[in-house]
């Protein structure tokens, strides 16, 4: 029981910016390129989506998928995309990517591309529980979190997890223009 509590205290939960529902754990980031776990993509309509990729959603994430998996215009060759939104507030979170063909044993069969601007780094799960807010009733903690306890017991200044994931601008055809996106951070 104590081990489970320690794991929850050390888990940084990224939440829906619209309603604060738990969506992903920062520890589940998936590196999809040599540059890191994030990229900015331009879709066929000219909209740029700055994504962070994750291996899975939180156990309590309540996400709605829209439509059938589509391979056309996929930013990840060999994968089909399905639009994903928060079931609580319908905030467009991003996409679930599923393998549309055999990609080999080292490639994930499913992963999530979550829009950075759809997420908020509210706080740690343990701090929600201290304020009487369990994962089933998500809400933002009123005070800001300036440091968090790391796995070795030391305290580290809290960074914006999402801003540390490097991005590269990719066009709808999957080709990079070689520039990085200035996120204004």
Ranges assigned E (strand) in the chain? 12-16, 22-25, 38-42, 48-54, 63-70, 79-86, 92-99, 110-115, 119-124, 147-149, 155-157, 169-170
- Per-residue pLDDT for the chain (185 aa), expressed as one digit of tens each? 333 333 333 468 899 999 999 999 988 999 887 777 778 898 888 899 999 999 999 988 999 999 999 999 999 999 999 999 999 999 999 999 999 999 999 999 999 999 999 998 654 433 333 333 333 323 332 222 333 333 444 333 333 444 443 333 333 444 444 433 333 33
Q: Give the residue among 93, 72, 105 at the shortest CA–CA distance from 14.
A: 93
The token pair that represents 108 in the structure block: 């994930």
Q: How far apart are CA 163 and CA 185, in angstroms?
A: 7
CB 28 within 8 A of CB 56: yes
| Residue matched to tokens 């933002």 | 140
Return d(Cα 4, Cα 98) in angstroms, integer.
30
- At 99, give phi and psi (nearest 5°): -60, 130
pLDDT of the residue at 49: 92
**Residue 112: HSE in the Cβ half-sphere, 13 Å Cα cutoff:** 23
Would you state the pLDDT for residue 135? 36
Fold of 2-170: 2.170.150
pLDDT at 161: 42
Model pTM score: 0.63
């Amino acid at each position: 029981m104590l081990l489970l509590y320690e794991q929850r205290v050390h888990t940084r939960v990224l939440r829906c910016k619209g309603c604060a529902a738990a969506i992903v754990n920062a520890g589940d980031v998936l590196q999809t390129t040599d540059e890191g776990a994030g990229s900015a993509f331009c879709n066929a309509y000219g909209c740029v989506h700055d994504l962070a990729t994750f291996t899975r959603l939180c156990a309590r994430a309540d996400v709605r998928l829209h439509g059938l998996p589509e391979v056309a215009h996929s930013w990840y060759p060999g994968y089909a995309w399905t639009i994903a939104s928060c079931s609580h507030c319908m905030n467009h979170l991003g996409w679930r990517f599923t393998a549309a063909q055999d990609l080999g044993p080292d490639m994930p069969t499913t992963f999530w591309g979550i829009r950075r601007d759809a997420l908020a780094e509210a706080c740690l799960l343990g701090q929600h529980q201290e304020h009487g807010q369990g994962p089933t009733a998500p809400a933002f903690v009123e005070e800001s979190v300036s440091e968090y306890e790391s796995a070795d017991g030391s305290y580290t200044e809290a960074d914006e997890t999402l801003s540390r994931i490097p991005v590269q601008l990719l066009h709808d055809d999957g080709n990079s223009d070689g520039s990085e996106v200035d996120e204004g951070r």
